[in-house]
Amino acid sequence: MKAEMDVGTNRKALQINLDAKKYGTFAEIGAGQEVARRFFTVGGAAGTIAKTMSAYDMTFSDAIYGPTDRYVSRKRLWTMLDHEYELLVKRLDAKFGGDRTFFVFADTVAARSFKQHNESHGWLGVRFQTEPRGEPSQIIIHVRMLDESNADEQEALGVIGVNLLYGAFYYSQPERLISSLQENLAPGRIQVDLIKFSGPSFAKIDNRLINLQLVSQGLTDAVMFTADGEMVQPSEILHKKAILIERGSFRPVTYATNDMLEGARGQFLKESGCSEEDTVVLMEMTLENLLSEGQLNHADFLARVDILGALGRTVLISKFGEYYRLAGYLSRYTNRMIGLVMGVPSLIEILDEKYYLNLEGGILEALGRMFKHGLKLYVYPMIEETTGAILSATKVHVAPNLRALFQYLIDNCYIQEIDDYRKDFLRIYPATVLAKLKAGDKSWEEMVPPEVAQIIKEREFFGYRAAVAA
């Protein structure tokens, strides 16, 4: 199996080495020169590599690229690309600039070491020309390395580095490049949780759609972007922060959506003891929700995230159908309090044993995983249609065999009622709003915040059509 993997990777490296138009620099810090080594091993590297370098000592690294707070970071990778590309063009343009395209490959990686066993991860990037003396384009990725040994991590890093460089040179479609990143790697060795394309070659690309491909193609469990559409690696946002997250379809955001979040936020800040600055609010959509109509509708997806962006929200797209998996994912990045915001119907689903038949420990295992990090559920009430009564979190009906377990969660404050809410918002449901919108019933505008109504009408989201004057 390993020999077959090497053949595939070496073939790619050799093809690049034999391409007389490609010439560049490899700069790798933190985990050896694993990518450059691949190109040296296959032969012909003298026609491709102008320089390789590695600066392990922080003093040397700072002398070359300047001081930094975090050596394994997007900022450090970008500085490396800037510095090495400027040197490459300055020193070699007169000699080769007319007939070669220059590139710089860089990575900064924290792999397993003898002393520490922290999460292994890294930033990799390539800056490259598509024509001699043309403006360069960039592709950067963030990876998590999941192998158990340092040697295996090094091998995987070399493979994905070759894949990235090969894809940049020979795959014009970003989707094809993404699907190639894990070629010649067994499943479960590396995750790619961020990719960003920039520069003239990718001027028409929406990186939010591209990163959605990382989830749908199985390269990662979740991706994240800020209100302005900037792709972020989760630790850039969540590191040591308290996290409040609301799951939904957001199709569209309604007054009830915001009322639920604001009610939970007030309680969460008080109970966590964290300030607004130390708290991150996330809006999460699951891939299953986005695929609810059988296939991914890009226009519908962008409509939802554009609306959330207009409200200043950071968005998480995940493949976590079960809440306990979402809780485990978030706890990877922080040791502070995590709050999940939901309505009563979601709480009822959490307490339904049928969703945990795949776990040996059933619902006990699922709830144990969910609450082991001090997580809390903040639950928005609902109106029972038959009686008109308000049903709060502590009053939901559960199976007789789960009543003691449910009471335990209530008594220990794992489940909290949202007590600050607008009763008149409880009857606002996204499905109702969407139906009215599509039917041309203008009353939908009274159910959503003004900025949401404005962006829906201006961009004709969700099938909205403005009335045509007679």
**465 or 191: which leads in pLDDT:** 191
- For 311-340, what is the mean pLDDT? 95
96 φ, ψ to 5°? -125, -10
Percent of the chain past pLDDT 70, that is, above it, reads 96
3-state secondary structure of 437: helix
Q: Mind listing the pLDDT tens digit for each residue in 226-255?
A: 999 999 999 999 999 999 999 999 999 999
Instruction: Determine the Cα–Cα distance for residues 463 and 134; give it in Å rounded to an integer.
Output: 42
Q: Which residue has the tokens 């894990």?
A: 182
Q: Mind listing the pLDDT tens digit for each residue in 356-407?
A: 999 999 999 999 999 988 899 999 999 998 888 999 999 999 999 999 999 9
Instruction: Determine the Cα–Cα distance for residues 162 and 105; give it in Å rounded to an integer.
Output: 10
- Asked whether the predicted pLDDT for residue 468 surpasses 50, the reply is no
- How does residue 340 score in pLDDT terms, banded at 50, 70 and 90? very high
- In the prediction, which pLDDT does 292 show? 63
H/E stretch holding 429:
none
- For 420-432, what is the mean pLDDT? 95
- In the prediction, which pLDDT does 242 show? 96
Instruction: Determine the Cα–Cα distance for residues 182 and 178; give it in Å rounded to an integer.
Output: 8
Q: Which of 380, 374, 381, 382 has the alpha carbon at shortest distance from 414?
A: 374
Its sign, for the CA torsion 265, 266, 272, 275, is positive
- Asked whether the predicted pLDDT for residue 469 surpasses 70, the reply is no
Instruction: Determine the Cα–Cα distance for residues 226 and 316; give it in Å rounded to an integer.
Output: 9
Mean pLDDT of the chain: 92
Cβ density class 58-91: b for 16+ within 10 Å, e for less:
eeebeeebeeeeebbbbebbbbbbebbbeebbee
The pair of three-digit structure tokens given for residue 242, joined into one six-digit string: 């308290």
| DSSP for 281-326, written as a single string | EEEEEEHHHHTTTSS--HHHHHHHHHHHHHTT-EEEEE---SHHHH
Domains for the chain: give ranges and CATH numbers.
Answer: 2-220 (3.90.950.20), 236-425 (3.40.50)
- In the prediction, which pLDDT does 2 show? 46
- In the prediction, which pLDDT does 197 show? 97
- 223, 213 contact by CB (below 8 A): no
Instruction: Determine the Cα–Cα distance for residues 402 and 300; give it in Å rounded to an integer.
Output: 39
Q: At what angle do helices 362-371 and 403-411 cross, to 10 degrees?
A: 10
Greatest distance between any 2 Cα atoms in the chain: 83
Q: Mind listing the pLDDT tens digit for each residue in 454-465?
A: 999 999 999 898
- In the prediction, which pLDDT does 179 show? 94
Instruction: Determine the Cα–Cα distance for residues 411 and 394; give it in Å rounded to an integer.
Output: 10
- In the prediction, which pLDDT does 116 show? 57
Instruction: Determine the Cα–Cα distance for residues 104 and 126; give it in Å rounded to an integer.
Output: 6
Instruction: Determine the Cα–Cα distance for residues 210 and 175; give it in Å rounded to an integer.
Output: 7
Instruction: Determine the Cα–Cα distance for residues 148 and 406; give it in Å rounded to an integer.
Output: 38
- 286, 247 contact by CB (below 8 A): yes
Q: Which residues pair with 380 in a beta bridge?
A: 343
- Asked whether the predicted pLDDT for residue 117 surpasses 80, the reply is no
